[in-house]
């Protein structure tokens, strides 16, 4: 038993295991320590007996030999983070976690894992009696990897790739990292450069409710998405721009997030916020299709909230009524005798040519006109799109109330 060996750090142990496996060997963990076994003569390493894995820091001979052999490899040695995933099946179920479809399901509509490469540069500081390592990590352009990303990617603990990475896929490291062209055997053996393949996931989730489905694209570091599915993006409603993770089906068939819908106070059904409106009279939020527009104020109202103007007889918002009359009827303006709208009325009612001193007002839907004769006034309410007469009434000089005229233009006065 060796006395008080320095505690070998996990990094050194990981490095030795990785190096041996990269060189095609294996380590047998026996009661007496690690025994290295190599199948191929080219990498045969011989040591005098098993090695205590806790004593690696006192074996500079071993570590330097491994480094020299790695430097002689034709292709850059490869590594992957121990925490990384290698197959979609390892994390597919995690991808569903943040989402919920009311009465429906979430499924993966496709996902690919691609290798994105980083580089680990290992500096070996060896004396006759001891050895220590330090690692640095760089991206494909040779920029140092920020500590936060190192941690996200698990770069501190690398292992051999479970499946060989095709040689042509392994990038050359930037020159400044200490090993240029692969196979350059003159490289300083106390620096070991490894290509680190990290899995980048990109794919599509499908949210399904009966015959309806919508898709969401996602991308990210695969292991990070497995650790924290909260990194997955929310679904963004294309109609409202609202986003969230909880989806439901609206009354009109859209599958979207809860943030994008509201309940119709009349039917109790879910509708897109863009399909909802508020009745200005009752204050109820209801399906937009249930609301009608006031032809004077353009406000939205439930049909039962409309009030008829006592003068023109048109249904309007009660908010534009005062003294029983709508705003149009209260604010009629005198028009010139050659106003073309008079001609329109005269065309429908030739007798109207005997009237004078015309006053008019228009709403979105009607033309309201008053013509005067010596004995009193005539009121015409004409549909602006069809030119049809919607109301005809008259009153004598001394009358306040309009008397509706039924049927044809009366020939007697
Ligand atoms: Zn009116």
Tell whether the model's pLDDT for residue 163 goes beyond 80: yes
Kindly give the pairing relationship between strand 246-249 and strand 100-101. parallel
* Interval between CA 198 and ligand 1 midpoint (Å): 74
Average pLDDT over residues 92-114: 95
Q: How far is CA 4 from CA 1, 7, 9, 62, in A?
A: 9, 9, 15, 20
Note if the pTM is more than 0.85. no
Q: Are 158 and 81 contacting, i.e. CB atoms less than 8 angstroms apart?
A: yes
Kindly give the pairing relationship between strand 333-334 and strand 356-362. antiparallel
* Interval between CA 283 and ligand 1 midpoint (Å): 24
* Interval between CA 328 and ligand 1 midpoint (Å): 6
Tell whether the model's pLDDT for residue 342 goes beyond 70: yes
Q: Are 335 and 359 contacting, i.e. CB atoms less than 8 angstroms apart?
A: yes
Q: Where residue 64 falls among pLDDT bands split at 50, 70, 90? A: confident
| Chain position carrying tokens 């000089």 | 397
* Interval between CA 326 and ligand 1 midpoint (Å): 4
Average confidence score pLDDT of the chain: 88
Kindly give the pairing relationship between strand 261-263 and strand 270-272. antiparallel
Average pLDDT over residues 361-373: 95
Q: What is the pLDDT of residues 201-213, one digit of tens each?
A: 999 999 999 999 9
Residue bearing the bigger pLDDT, 9 or 44: 9
Q: Give the closest residue to 326 by CA, choosing from 359, 292, 301, 362.
A: 362
pLDDT of res. 188 = 43
* Interval between CA 314 and ligand 1 midpoint (Å): 6
* Interval between CA 286 and ligand 1 midpoint (Å): 27
* Interval between CA 164 and ligand 1 midpoint (Å): 84
pLDDT of res. 401 = 87
Q: Where residue 407 falls among pLDDT bands split at 50, 70, 90? A: low
Residue bearing the bigger pLDDT, 67 or 291: 291
Q: Where residue 12 falls among pLDDT bands split at 50, 70, 90? A: confident
* Interval between CA 332 and ligand 1 midpoint (Å): 10
Residue bearing the bigger pLDDT, 39 or 320: 320
Q: Are 295 and 316 contacting, i.e. CB atoms less than 8 angstroms apart?
A: yes
Average pLDDT over residues 292-303: 97
Residue boundaries of the structural domains of the chain:
10-71, 78-92+110-202, 328-404
Q: Where residue 46 falls among pLDDT bands split at 50, 70, 90? A: low
Average pLDDT over residues 132-142: 91
Q: Where residue 199 falls among pLDDT bands split at 50, 70, 90? A: very high
Other beta carbons less than 10 A from residue 243's beta carbon: 14
Q: How far is CA 91 from CA 108, 225, 227, in A?
A: 11, 8, 9
Average pLDDT over residues 223-239: 95
* Interval between CA 412 and ligand 1 midpoint (Å): 27
Q: Where residue 45 falls among pLDDT bands split at 50, 70, 90? A: low
Q: How far is CA 327 from CA 63, 98, 308, 341, 398, in A?
A: 94, 54, 12, 20, 23
* Interval between CA 329 and ligand 1 midpoint (Å): 4
Average pLDDT over residues 138-167: 93
Q: What is the pLDDT of residues 321-336, one digit of tens each?
A: 999 999 999 999 999 8
* Range scoring the smallest mean pLDDT among 240-249, 290-299, 370-379: 370-379
Tell whether the model's pLDDT for residue 180 goes beyond 50: no
Share of the chain above pLDDT 90, in %: 64
* Interval between CA 318 and ligand 1 midpoint (Å): 11
* Interval between CA 331 and ligand 1 midpoint (Å): 10
Q: Where residue 40 falls among pLDDT bands split at 50, 70, 90? A: low
* Interval between CA 134 and ligand 1 midpoint (Å): 88
Q: Where residue 185 falls among pLDDT bands split at 50, 70, 90? A: very low
Tell whether the model's pLDDT for residue 10 goes beyond 80: no
Tell whether the model's pLDDT for residue 376 goes beyond 60: yes
* Interval between CA 301 and ligand 1 midpoint (Å): 17
* Interval between CA 365 and ligand 1 midpoint (Å): 12
Average pLDDT over residues 383-392: 90
Residue bearing the bigger pLDDT, 13 or 6: 13
């Amino acid at each position: 038993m060796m006395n008080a060996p320095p505690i070998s750090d996990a990094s050194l142990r990981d490095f030795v295991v990785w190096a041996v496996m990269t060189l095609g060997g294996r380590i047998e963990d026996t009661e007496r320590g690690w025994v290295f076994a190599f199948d191929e003569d080219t990498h045969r390493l011989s040591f005098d007996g098993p090695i205590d894995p806790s004593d690696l820091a006192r074996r500079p001979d071993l570590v330097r030999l491994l480094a020299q052999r790695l430097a002689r490899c034709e292709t850059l040695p490869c590594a992957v983070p121990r925490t990384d995933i290698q197959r979609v099946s390892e994390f597919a179920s995690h991808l569903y976690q943040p989402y919920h479809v009311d009465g429906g399901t979430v499924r993966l509509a496709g996902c690919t894992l691609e290798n994105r490469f980083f580089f680990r540069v290992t500096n070996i500081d060896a004396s006759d009696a001891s050895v220590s390592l330090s690692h640095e990590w760089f991206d494909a352009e040779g920029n140092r990897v920020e500590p936060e990303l190192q941690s996200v990617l698990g770069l501190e603990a690398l292992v051999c790739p479970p499946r060989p990475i095709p040689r042509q896929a392994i990038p050359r490291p930037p020159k400044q990292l200490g090993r240029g062209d692969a196979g350059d055997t003159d490289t300083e053996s106390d620096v070991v450069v490894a290509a680190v393949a990290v899995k980048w996931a990109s794919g599509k989730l499908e949210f399904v409710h009966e015959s309806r489905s919508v898709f969401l694209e996602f991308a990210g570091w695969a292991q990070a998405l497995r650790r924290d599915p909260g990194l997955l993006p929310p679904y963004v409603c294309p109609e409202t721009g609202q986003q969230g993770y909880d989806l439901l089906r609206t009354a009109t068939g859209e599958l979207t997030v809860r943030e994008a819908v509201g309940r119709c106070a009349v039917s109790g059904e879910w509708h897109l916020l863009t399909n909802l409106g508020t009745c200005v009279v009752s204050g109820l939020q209801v399906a937009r299709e249930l609301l009608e527009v006031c032809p004077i104020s353009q406000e939205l109202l439930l049909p039962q909230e409309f009030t008829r103007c006592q003068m023109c007889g048109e249904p309007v918002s009660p908010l534009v009524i005062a003294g029983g009359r709508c705003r149009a009827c209260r604010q009629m303006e005198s028009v010139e005798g050659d106003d073309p709208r008079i001609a329109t009325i005269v065309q429908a009612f030739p007798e109207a040519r005997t009237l004078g001193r015309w006053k008019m007002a228009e709403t979105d839907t009607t033309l309201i006109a008053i013509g005067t004769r010596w004995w009193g006034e005539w009121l015409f309410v004409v549909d602006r799109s069809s030119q049809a007469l919607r109301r005809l009434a008259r009153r004598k000089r001394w009358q306040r109330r309009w008397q509706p005229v039924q049927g044809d233009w009366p020939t007697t006065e």
